[in-house]
């Protein structure tokens, strides 16, 4: 017997569990029965049967054009989304693309989002102690030379001089020796390091080379992940009343972050679907598409779009084992039929190419048949009626 956390008797449970309802609806039935204390088994049975009938009636019928319905159900609220590219919103003053641009970006399956970001959860004491959380921050946030000290150019001697700030070095857990080494490795110069002072210059005295070195020096990432330009720490309340530190990053490098010590690799996410696909596989990417599209709509107060529509979109995008965009470069572009592709975008190109390759259109799909004016294979259009072909024998139809 399934475990039920509601105060109802065993007979009622048996009656409700016997229906074809999903868990979510069964729980709601229990909740209602519980609220109406003293409902008899007969009443419970009646209620459960009514809910079940209603549930079975609202399921999708065979040959229903679910895709078209989804397109309209997402499209209509889509007209109410903000067309502004983005503004500061959401969590911790991190700039995130929202509204229509974000939705377009998702269904287009862009390689990188406009504003990549990660939500990094921490584990153990990293999540509860600010000091420890900061350690993780320094391992994620890219540290450039200007954050570590002052850089000056001595034109007379053709030298670049760096005065490192010792407090910052200690805080970010990097030594002056390490800094000097990284400079040598990435710029290919000899450095002289004394205490917190580092000095180097071009091999041949050249004003241009000197400036070039300074320029390159500024781009070196000394610590952290190059792609992540900023990390914000926030203290968030958990369901059980405790608090934990959560990091929000501007820029993302999902794979790298998962490997960092202190990062909770079971909850950390990012808003780049391709990165999720690469690191967690296609199923996680599908889940992320649903989550992201749903959040984008919910953010704008359009959360009454049924999640099934978004699930259908995500299913289509992940059907071939990799993320495909909706549209001419993805799903619509890989349709079998020439006419269906031509009807979508860049009509002439498709017709021309089809003519060159001698393509044949079997007129199996919906779009093609709308074009040539035949009934489409959807709804009643896919049902054939035949008269009297298999009557029970006694009365032959003529």
Partner 1 sequence: MVDVSQHELVPEHTVLEEEALEEVLEEYDIDRTDLPKIKRTDAALPDDAELGDVIKIVRDSRTTDQSVVYRYVVE
Distance CA 355, CA 93 (A): 54
Residue 27 or 184: which CB sits closer to partner 1? Answer: 27
Total number of residues that touch partner 1 (CB under 8 A): 29
Residue 140 or 179: which CB sits closer to partner 1? Answer: 140
Burial of 348 (0-12, 13-18, 19+ CB in 10 A): exposed
The backbone region for 45, taken as left when phi is positive above 0, alpha when psi lies in -120 to 50, beta otherwise, is alpha
Residue 193 or 293: which CB sits closer to partner 1? Answer: 293
Residue 145 or 260: which CB sits closer to partner 1? Answer: 260
| Angle formed at CA 236 by CA 231 and CA 173, multiple of 5 degrees | 35
Cα–Cα nearest to 249, from 267, 235, 265, 269: 269
Q: Give the contact letters, 321-350, x = binds to partner 1 (CB under 8 A), - = no.
A: xx----------------------------
Q: Which listed range, 87-95, 126-134, 280-288, 346-354, lies at the site for partner 1 (CB under 8 A)?
A: 280-288
Does residue 318 interact with partner 1 by CB under 8 A? yes
In angstroms, give the least distance from the CB of 281 to partner 1. 3
Residues 83-122 that bind partner 1 (CB under 8 A): none
Does residue 280 interact with partner 1 by CB under 8 A? yes
Q: Give the contact letters, 4-43, x = binds to partner 1 (CB under 8 A), - = no.
A: ------------------xxx-------------------
In angstroms, give the least distance from the CB of 36 to partner 1. 25
- Among residues 36, 218, 235, 320, the one that binds partner 1 under rule CB under 8 A: 320
- Among residues 42, 303, 315, 336, the one that binds partner 1 under rule CB under 8 A: 315
Does residue 265 interact with partner 1 by CB under 8 A? yes
Does residue 54 interact with partner 1 by CB under 8 A? no
In angstroms, give the least distance from the CB of 17 to partner 1. 12
In angstroms, give the least distance from the CB of 131 to partner 1. 24
Residue 187 or 282: which CB sits closer to partner 1? Answer: 282
Does residue 66 interact with partner 1 by CB under 8 A? no
Residue 16 or 183: which CB sits closer to partner 1? Answer: 16
Does residue 252 interact with partner 1 by CB under 8 A? no
Distance CA 367, CA 363 (A): 9
Phi, psi (degrees; rounded to nearest 5) at 102: -70, -40
Does residue 276 interact with partner 1 by CB under 8 A? yes
Task: Give residues in contact with partner 1 (CB under 8 A).
Answer: 22-24, 258-259, 265-267, 269, 276, 278-284, 287-288, 290, 307-308, 311, 315, 318-322
């Amino acid at each position: 017997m399934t475990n039920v956390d509601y105060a109802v008797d065993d007979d009622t449970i048996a009656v409700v569990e016997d229906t074809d309802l999903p868990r979510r609806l069964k729980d709601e039935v229990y909740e209602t029965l519980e609220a109406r204390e003293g409902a008899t088994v007969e009443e419970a049975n009646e209620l459960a049967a009514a809910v079940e009938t209603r549930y079975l009636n609202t399921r999708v019928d065979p040959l229903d054009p679910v895709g078209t319905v989804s397109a309209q159900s997402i499209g209509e609220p889509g007209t109410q989304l903000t067309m502004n590219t983005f503004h500061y919103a959401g969590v911790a003053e991190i700039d995130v693309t929202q509204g229509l641009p974000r939705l377009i970006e998702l269904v287009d399956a862009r390689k990188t989002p406009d504003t990549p970001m990660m939500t990094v959860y921490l584990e153990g004491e990293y999540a509860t102690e600010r000091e420890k959380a900061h350690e993780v921050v320094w391992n994620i946030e890219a540290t450039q030379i200007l954050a570590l000290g002052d850089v000056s150019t001595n034109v007379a001697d053709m030298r670049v001089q760096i005065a490192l700030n010792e407090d910052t070095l200690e805080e970010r857990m990097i030594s002056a020796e390490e800094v000097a080494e990284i400079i040598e490795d990435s710029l290919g110069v000899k450095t002289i390091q004394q205490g917190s002072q580092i000095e180097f210059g071009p091999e041949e005295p050249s004003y241009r080379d000197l400036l070039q070195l300074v320029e390159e020096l500024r781009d070196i990432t000394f610590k952290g992940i190059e792609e992540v330009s900023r990390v914000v720490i926030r203290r968030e309340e958990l369901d059980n009343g405790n608090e934990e530190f959560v990091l929000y990053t501007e820029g993302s490098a999902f794979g790298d972050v998962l490997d960092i010590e202190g990062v909770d690799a079971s909850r950390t996410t990012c808003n780049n679907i391709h990165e999720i696909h690469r690191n967690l596989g296609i199923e996680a990417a599908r889940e992320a598409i649903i989550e992201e599209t749903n959040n984008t709509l919910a953010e704008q107060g359009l959360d009454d779009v049924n999640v099934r529509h978004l699930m259908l979109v995500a299913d289509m995008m992940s059907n071939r084992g990799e993320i495909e965009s909706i549209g001419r470069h993805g799903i619509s572009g890989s349709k079998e039929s020439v006419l269906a592709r031509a009807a979508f975008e860049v009509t002439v190109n498709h017709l021309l190419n089809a003519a060159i390759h001698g393509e044949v259109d079997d007129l199996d799909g919906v779009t093609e048949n709308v074009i040539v004016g035949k009934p489409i294979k959807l709804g009643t259009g896919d049902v054939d009626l035949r008269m009297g072909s298999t009557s029970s024998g006694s009365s032959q139809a003529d």
